[in-house]
Amino acid sequence: MVFVCVKQLVNSVHCFTALEGLASAGMLVDEAMLLRAKTELETMRGKVDYRTRMESIKSAVGRAIKSENVVQLEDLIDQMVGLSTDGKFAMTADDSRLLDESRDLLHDLKRKHALKQEIDITRPALQVPLLPGMVDKLAKGVETMQRLKEAAAEFPGVFTPDDEELLKTASLNSIDLKRKTEKMKEAEMALTAAMNSRDYADLTRAIALAEEAPFIEESTLEAARDLAAFLDPPTRIATMKTAIASRNIPEIEKALEDFKSARVPGQSSLEAKAVRTLAKLKRLEKKRKRAEQKRKREAARRDAEIALLNDKLRAAMDSKDIYILQDALDVCEDSGYRDEEIPLYFAAEELFEKMTIENVRSRLKDGIERRDIQQLETAIDDADYGG
């Protein structure tokens, strides 16, 4: 709005009056820009009162310093410098003194504002969650805030009582968090080393230390406890004895593997016993398997021989020839197998008896018809013999 009014100064002297009215009414007005506008207006009118202008600037400088308005102060100092270089104006000693003092004050105000801004930026670093990952950030924040406190000592009110309390609390928190983090790392290192060494005594000590340490993950403790339960010497010894007593090869193998993995101290004799028992059982198992294989081979040979005898009987029965059937039955009897072991033996024997009776009857009938004494005697003898 001020810039627009300056553009219109040539055509409207009322803009200057309006700006002064805003200032007197206490409204937020850029006073430095207002003075520039007045200077520009007076220059256009050809009525510049340099001394009045300098006094107005000096008065505005006092207000800018009081309100600590850095932007206004910079602009006003720039205007004072501009007047000092104008050949139509002679600077007084008081003007020069005020200019120098204003420059020094501007420098101090800039430092003061920069400190305020840096303190604002640093506060969140002192309010971080008290977790291991924040230990460095918190320590750095405390260090930075301590430095800012020392730097702000020359500016009363910049470092507030709230900042003092925040720094005190954060300092204590930083020391405590560092201590807890170191304790956590120490416990984690001991736990990792014990788990890697698989030493039961070391592991139980490391677990006890970790249980007292802060920030240790429960999943880490669970893994360590599981390993400790596995490495527990009484458990491994009892499991090994049970496995040996079972005389079960897979069970002993598993128990022996776990026993070695657990590095059970002072139990070399039990481990040796398990090794001997396992070796003996494996020899027996190997012998049993050989015997089983032999039995299977013999059974296969026996089944094949019986199948051949059975096939011979079937062929003889199908031939309807009593002599061929007699020969097949004789072969079966000489084979060494029991009659009941050959499926067709009894059927073949029954058929043979039937065929024998029919043969004798036929011979008897033929001998009677032919009145052949010798044939009748032979047939009668065969009939008596066959019952």
Angle CA(277)–CA(278)–CA(284) in degrees, nearest 5?
90
Q: Give the long-range contacts of residues 181-184, CB within 8 A, separation 24 or more.
A: 181/132, 181/135, 181/215, 183/213, 183/214, 184/132, 184/213, 184/214, 184/215, 184/216
| Spacing of C-alpha 151 from chain mean position | 46
| Predicted confidence pLDDT, tens digits, the chain (387 residues) | 333 333 333 333 333 344 444 444 333 458 888 888 877 777 777 676 878 888 999 999 999 998 889 898 989 999 889 888 887 888 899 989 999 999 999 998 999 999 999 999 999 999 999 999 999 999 999 999 999 999 999 999 999 999 999 999 999 999 999 999 999 999 999 999 999 999 999 999 999 999 999 999 899 899 999 999 999 999 999 999 999 999 999 999 999 999 998 888 888 899 999 999 999 999 999 999 999 999 999 999 999 999 999 999 999 999 999 999 999 999 999 999 999 999 999 999 999 988 888 876 776 677 677 777 776 777 677 665 554
Residue 42: predicted pLDDT: 75
- Where in the chain are the domains? 2-123, 132-231, 234-292, 300-386
Q: What is the largest CA-CA distance in the chain?
A: 188
Residue 29: predicted pLDDT: 55
Under a CB-based contact definition with an 8 Å cutoff, are residues 120 and 149 in contact? no
Query: pTM, whole model, 2 decimals?
Result: 0.55
Residue 358: predicted pLDDT: 82
Under a CB-based contact definition with an 8 Å cutoff, are residues 310 and 328 in contact? no
Read off the amino acid at residue 366.
D
Residue 294: predicted pLDDT: 94
Q: Is 266 helix (H, G, I), strand (E, B) or coil?
A: coil
Q: Find tokens 């020969």 and name the residue.
A: 327
Residue 18: predicted pLDDT: 42
Q: How far apart are CA 141 and CA 127, in angstroms?
A: 9
